[in-house]
Amino acid sequence: MNHNPAGRAGKPWLWGGVALGLAMAIALAVALFTAGSLMAGAQDYFQTGMVFIAAALIVQMVLWMREHGRTLKKELESGLSEKAASNNWWGVTVLAALAIAREGSETVVFLYGMLAEAGGMELARMGAAGLVGLLLAFLTFYLLQLGGKVLSWRLFFRVTEIMLLLLGASLFLSGVEKLISMDVLPALVDPLWDSSALLDDMSPFGGVVAALTGYRSHPALMSLIAYALFWAAIWSLFQWRNRRLAVAA
């Protein structure tokens, strides 16, 4: 819109859409935390459900990025240009609001799932982790702006996909373990082995590895089965996507 003289008049409408999208995401966050506090007897089930939803959103995000990542910027710019050319400023507002609300809502659900998975983790530790993540995001953006000299977009997306899927597996496993603790699922054999001598998931470093990958030093058999099923489902989804793209081509 900066390069379009007619589009500059639509900037207030664009920023209005951004504000509206953020407001919708914040409203969802308030609704989730309110619902979680009101459901006294079923709070554990509600939080467990949100953990599974967060894991599913991560998988959906990876699949969506693979399909639309290369054309997303062009699609958004094309949509905004069409609305600006016809002076359809309400359309610009709605388009921006929906884009921000969609991404914001996914972020809200993901963060709620992470908080539910963290359980008793102190707020200070969560805040510190968020700050480190924000700093790493700025560093990554800076490296990407160097034009591929240090970090290429292709490598960035591949590494991001792997990290997101590992995080999704960790969230899914945490949800399964919550169901085991609530006696909804049997543990079968608990523990199946003890690898704490190599890496204890209760240690500071082991805890980070466990949170990011789903590693367990004392896994139950049901947890191991669930972890294997998650990756089997991921492999099946990627195979289905590749077949669908091959047919479309």
Model pTM?
A: 0.72
- pLDDT for position 184: 92
Whether the predicted pLDDT of 171 surpasses 60: yes
Cβ(44)–Cβ(179) below 8 Å: no
Nearest-angstrom CA–CA distance, 85 and 233: 44
- When pLDDT is cut at 50, 70 and 90, the band that residue 62 belongs to is confident
Would you kindly state where each structural domain of the chain is located, as residue ranges?
1-119, 152-249
The answer, yes or no, to whether residue 231 has pLDDT greater than 90, is yes
Provide, rounded to the nearest whole percent, the portion of the chain with pLDDT above 90: 17
Cβ-in-10-Å burial (0-12, 13-18, 19+) of 243 comes to exposed
